[in-house]
A = this chain, B = another copy of it.
Amino acid sequence: MDRIIVFDVNETLLDVGALDPLFERMFGDAGVRREWFGQMLQSAFVSTIVDSYRDFGTLAMGALAMVAERHGVTVADEDRQALGAGMRSLPPHPEVREAMDRLRDAGFRLSTLTNSTPEVAEAQLANAGLRDLVVHVLSADTVRRLKPAPEPYRMAAERHEVSIGAIRLVAAHAWDIAGALRAGSAAAFVARPGQVLDRAGAQPDIVGANLDDVAKQIVAADR
């Protein structure tokens, strides 16, 4: 089966670590970037569970305010704006372009599916020089339910006019893998440093240390 390959964006394709100097400037500690990203995810999951939708940009700024209060830090307006701008212009991880080229050259159709808003997602792909490689730049915001809820994965299948089983979601996050598998699609996990699967749930059939490793396995499995 020629699957549709759907990539998560933040941390999977793009290096959120590029924001470290900004967090060093704001908090005197680049490590707060991970705390902020974790808080943003927690706020996103809670908003899904209590069925009170907020877009990812709003969640990102809310998480920044929570982390700032926790650390007793006042965030300047210009730093808040720098975070928004930084999220739009994250660099791709070094192997990403080559890995996506490999998949496209092998005949796969590629798209992205992110919790970022459509406007941010388009800016992210364009600024990372990856926009030409993908058919659709999809956002969970369109269905107002964030991953790992099933609706975004179903939307990706609908937009490609295929069944959900024809989708393979590629992500560096255990929670995204869990959502995709539960929705009925295949999945591939990019085991970036610090990222681990949840061994208690359903497991993806493809796991690789980086996107090129994963791409080679997809070519072998899905062609």
Contact = CB atoms under 8 A, between A and B. Distances in A.
B46 A178 contact: yes
Nearest to A201: B52
Given A51-B182, A182-B52, A201-B52, A196 B46 contact: no
Interface string A59-86: 0001001100110000000000000000
A45 B43 contact: no
Nearest to A38: B38
A42 B41 contact: yes
Contact of A62 (B41, B45, B69, B198): B198
Given A52-B182, A70-B194, A182-B51, A148 B46 contact: yes
**Chain copies in complex:** 2
B69 A148 contact: no
A174 interface: yes
A216 B51 CA distance: 32
A194 B48 CA distance: 24
A219 B60 CA distance: 37
25 contacts: A42-B42, A42-B175, A43-B198, A43-B200, A45-B46, A46-B148, A46-B178, A46-B179, A49-B179, A50-B150, A50-B178, A51-B182, A52-B182, A52-B201, A54-B200, A58-B200, A62-B198, A62-B199, A62-B200, A65-B199, A65-B200, A66-B174, A66-B198, A70-B195, A70-B196
Q: Which 5 A-B pairs have the closest CB atoms?
A: A45-B45, A50-B182, A62-B200, A69-B196, A46-B175
